[in-house]
Amino acid sequence: MEKHRSDARRGVKGKGKLYQIMNDLGIENFYIELIEHHSCNTKEELFKKEGEWIRKMGTLNGQIQGRTPEQYRTDTVVQKQEYDKEYNKNNKDKITEKQKTKYQNNKEHYKQKSNDNYYEKKETIREKMNAKCQCECGVVYSYGNRLRHFNSKHHKNFLNNNIDKCLATRRRTTIRKTTEATFIQQ
């Protein structure tokens, strides 16, 4: 504890929260208190027990003893997402410029990767695009032409004439997600 007090007086960096509060509330008001006698065989067991108490009581210490890296990531996932979102918002131009530079420096690699990916999945893509779908208006269309069908006069007339039915089935929009269409097995 004496080292913490000394560091708080000197204003040592790195333990900002603890030392700031120690100086605000008075260094003499901080002490170490024995909570429990715990016999253990290894230092890791001792750290785990300390971590349990830190979780129960709360602490200014960001490092909870006995916590694995996986537990740390699980515990801090929300804070990391918020930090990343804020960072991306504040550094949008910097990130965009970095991505452009990376793409320009590796243009051939990205084109080749895209080409390879297309040729590997060519048959799967073709099958998906040719899959037949049954619309609620009665027309059978291929998945690749779904937007063309949804914008057709026939489909729009059906929607206008059957607006109550469409609202009841929550299919009122002109462009639908593909999950709303029922696929016909060929």
The whole-number average pLDDT for the span 87-112 is 92
Range of the domain at 50: 2-66
DSSP string, 101-162: HHHHHTHHHHHHHHHHHHHHHHHHHHHHHH-EEE-TTS-EEEGGGHHHHHTSHHHHHHHHHT
Gyration radius (Cα) of the chain, Å: 31
For the segment 44-62, what is each residue's pLDDT rounded down to a tens digit?
A: 888 888 888 877 877 766 6
Residues 117 and 164 in one domain: no
- CA gap 123, 119 in Å, rounded: 8
**Inside any domain, residue 80:** no
**Inside any domain, residue 75:** no
Residues 135 and 124 in one domain: no
pLDDT of residue 63: 67
pLDDT of residue 70: 85
Residues 122 and 141 in one domain: no
For the segment 4-34, what is each residue's pLDDT rounded down to a tens digit?
A: 778 777 776 655 677 778 778 887 887 777 7
Q: How far is CA 165 from the centre of its chain?
A: 37
Total domains, the chain: 3
Kindly report whether the global pTM for this prediction surpasses the value 0.75: no
With bands split at pLDDT 50, 70 and 90, how would you rate the model's confidence at 98? Answer: very high
Residues 119 and 153 in one domain: no
Among 128, 150, 168, the domain-final residue is 128
Residues 25 and 51 in one domain: yes
Residues 117 and 138 in one domain: no
pLDDT of residue 162: 80
Flag whether pLDDT at 155 surpasses 60: yes
- First-to-final CA distance of the chain: 76
| Top-confidence residue, 69 or 102 | 102
**Inside any domain, residue 77:** no
Among 66, 81, 114, the domain-final residue is 66
